[in-house]
Structure 1
Amino acid sequence: MIKFDNVSKVYGDKAAVDHISFEVNEGEFFVLIGPSGCGKTTTLKMINRLIPLSSGYIYFKNQPISSYKLDEMRWDIGYVLQQIALFPHMTVRDNIAQVPTMKKWETSRIDEQINRLLDMVGLPHEQFRDRYPSELSGGQQQRIGVVRALAADPPVILMDEPFSALDPLSREKLQDDLLHLQSEINKTIIFVTHDINEAFRLGDRICLMNQGRIEQIGTPRDFVERPNSEFVQSFIGNATIERLAADCLEPIPYNATYPAVKPETPVSELYALLAEHEQLNVIDTEYRGAVTRTSVFKTLSKGGAE
C-alpha cells in the first residue's frame, strides 16, 4: 500500500530522515515511534507531500507519490492532527463534509456517510451533527477529526500524535474507540506517537526511529522478546503488560492469594512474578481478569508457531 525506498529528508547539512526503507501493508495499523526529533513526523508528512523528500522514492498504490495530482492524492489519504482545528463557524456536519463535497458527492450520500460515522464513534448523529465545535469537549472534537478524515472513505489514514493533548482517561477511551473502529472499517493507518504503551496497544507493527534512521520494525512481541539493540531495549524499558495481557487475560474469578498487578506493570516484572506464582490478578480501577502461566505459554507458543 505504502512503500519507502531509500528515502531521505535533508535540511542544510542535517538529515532529518536518513535513507529509510519500509513497507506498510494494506489494512495494517503501523506505528511510527521514537524520541523527539527522531524524524517520525517528517516521515509521516512526506507521505502526503506536506514535506517534499530530498531523495529516494515513496510509493502509494504502487506508483510514486510524485505521479499523482496533489489534491486527488490527498483526498485518498485522510489526515488527523493533534490540534484538530475544526472550523469554528461551521457545524459538525459541515466540518466533516468538506472533502466529500469537493469530490462532488451527492448530498444524500454525504449525509448518510456522516450519520454512519458519527454513530460509529459514539456520537449519535441526531445529537451532534448540528452542533458547533465550541459545544464539544476535547475528546469529542478529536472524534470529529477522525470522522472528518474518514468521510470521503480514503484507503489510508495518517494520524500525527492525535491523542497526546488529552487527559489519560480520554486518551485511553479514544484508543479503545479507534481499535473498535479499525475492526469495522479496516483502513491502512499510519500513526505517530512518542508513547511506547500507546504504540504497543494500537500497533500491528511498530517502527522505532532514532536520529532519522530505523532502529527496528516488528510486532509489539518482537520488541519485548527480540530487541535489536541496547537503544531498543532502553526505549521499551517502560513498556507495560497492556498489549500482552490483552492476549493472555483470563476471565476467571479474583483470587486474593495471588499478587495483583496494574496495566502499567513492566513486562520484565510480569515474567518475574509468574516465575514464582501461577496466577496474577490484573487490577486497574477494577478487577479485569487474571494472567496465568498457562495463558502466557499458550500465547507465546502461538506466536512462535506463526
Structure 2
Amino acid sequence: MIKFDNVAKVYGHKAAVDHISFEVKEGEFFVLIGPSGCGKTTTLKMINRLIPLSSGYIYFKDQPISHYKLDEMRWDIGYVLQQIALFPHMTVRDNIAQVPMMKKWSTDRIDEQINRLLDMVGLPHEQYRDRYPSELSGGQQQRIGVVRALAADPPVILMDEPFSALDPISREKLQDDLLQLQSEINKTIIFVTHDINEAFKLGDRICLMNQGRIEQIGTPRDFVDRPNSEFVRSFIGHTKIERHAADCIQPLPYDGRYPAVRPDTPVSELYKLLAEQEQLNVIDTEYRGAVTRPSVFQALSKGVAE
C-alpha cells in the first residue's frame, strides 16, 4: 500500500530522514516512534507531500506519489493532527463534509456517511452533528477529527500524535475506540507517537527511528523478545505487552458447555471469566483450542503473558 525506497530528506547539511526503506501493508496499523527530532513526523508528512522528498521514492498503490495529482492523492489519504483544526464557524456535520463535497458526493450520501461514522466513534449523530466545535470537549473534538479523516472513505489514514494533548483517561479511551474502529473499517493506518506504551497497544508493527534512520521494525513482541541494539533495549525499557487468549491455548477438544472468547481477548478478561468457568473455547472463524486456568498460569511462568 505504502512503500519507501531509499528515501531521504535533507535540510542544508543535516539529514532529517536518512535513506530509509520500508513497506506498510494494506490494512496494517503501522506505528512510527522515536525520540524528538528522529524524523518520524517528517517521514509521515512526506507521504501526503506536505514535505517534499530530497531523494528516493515513495509509492502509493504501486505508483510513485509524484504521479498523482496532489488534491486527488490527498483525498485518498486521511490526515489526523494533534491540533485538530476544526472550523469554529461550522457545525460538526459541515466540518466532516468538506472532502466528500469536494469529491461531489450527493447530500444524501454525505449525511449517511457522517451519521454512520459519528455513531461508530460513540458520538450519536442526532446529538452531535449540529453542534459547533466550542460545544465539544477535547476528546470529542479529536473524535470529530478522526471522523473527518474517514469521511471520504480513504484507504489510508495518517495520524500525527493525535492523542498526545489529551488527559490520560481520555487518551486511553480514544486508543480503545480507535482499535475498535479499525476492527470494523480495516484501513491502512500510519500513526506517529513518542509513547512506547501507545505504540505497543496500537501497532501491528512498529518502526523505531533514531537520528533519521530506522533502528528496528517489527511487532511489539519482536521488540521485547529480540531487540536489535542497546538503543532499542533502552528505548522500550520495561514495557510489557498485553497478552491474549491466543498465547494461552491448549489443544483440548471443543466443549460446548463453556463460553467462547476471541483469540485477541486480553488476559485480564480471561482472569474474570475463569473465576467462574473451568474452560474457555477460543474461536475466530473456527475453533482454535481452549484456555484453562493451568494454561494461563503456564504461560505466565514462561513469561509469555503478563
TM, length-normalised to structure 2 = 0.83
Q: Distance in 1 between matches of 2:22 and 2:186?
A: 20
1:113-140 per-residue CA deviation (whole Å, 9 max, x = no partner) reads 0000000000000000000000000000
2:237 counterpart SS class = helix
Q: Distance in 1 between matches of 2:136 and 2:234?
A: 39
1:296 Cα deviation (Å)? 4.4
1:128 matched residue in structure 2: 128
2:202 matched residue in structure 1: 202
Residues 18 and 212 in structure 1, CA contact (< 8 A), matched pair in contact too: yes
Q: Distance in 1 between matches of 2:45 and 2:69?
A: 16
2:252 matched residue in structure 1: none
- 1:170/1:89 Cα in 2 relative to 1: closer, same or farther (>3 Å)? same
Residues 248 and 295 in structure 1, CA contact (< 8 A), matched pair in contact too: no
Q: Is 2:271 aligned against 1:251?
A: yes
The runs of 4+ residues in structure 1 deviating greater than 3 Å are 240-249, 252-255, 290-293, 295-301
1:11-68 per-residue CA deviation (whole Å, 9 max, x = no partner) reads 0000000000000000000000000000000000000000000000000000000000
Residues 247 and 299 in structure 1, CA contact (< 8 A), matched pair in contact too: no
1:304 matched residue in structure 2: none
Percentage of identical aligned residues = 85
Q: Distance in 1 between matches of 2:6 and 2:191?
A: 20
1:294 matched residue in structure 2: 298
1:35-74 superposed matches below 5 A = 35-74=35-74
How many aligned residue pairs are there?
268
Q: CA RMSD of the aligned region, Å?
A: 2.2
Structure 2 portions without partners, runs of 5+ = 246-264, 276-292
TM, length-normalised to structure 1 = 0.83
- 1:294/1:243 Cα in 2 relative to 1: closer, same or farther (>3 Å)? closer
1:254 Cα deviation (Å)? 9.4
2:31 matched residue in structure 1: 31
1:234 matched residue in structure 2: 234
Letter in 2 for 1:93: R
Structure 1 portions without partners, runs of 5+ = 256-278, 280-289, 302-306
2:281 matched residue in structure 1: none
Q: Distance in 2 between matches of 1:223 and 1:209?
A: 13
Q: Is 2:124 aligned against 1:104?
A: no
Q: Distance in 2 between matches of 1:47 and 1:32?
A: 13
Q: Distance in 1 between matches of 2:180 and 2:191?
A: 16
1:49 counterpart SS class = coil
- 1:137/1:214 Cα in 2 relative to 1: closer, same or farther (>3 Å)? same
- 1:253/1:64 Cα in 2 relative to 1: closer, same or farther (>3 Å)? closer
Residues 201 and 243 in structure 1, CA contact (< 8 A), matched pair in contact too: no
Letter in 2 for 1:113: Q
1:73-92 superposed matches below 5 A = 73-92=73-92
Residues 221 and 241 in structure 2, CA contact (< 8 A), matched pair in contact too: no
Residues 242 and 266 in structure 2, CA contact (< 8 A), matched pair in contact too: no
2:218 matched residue in structure 1: 218
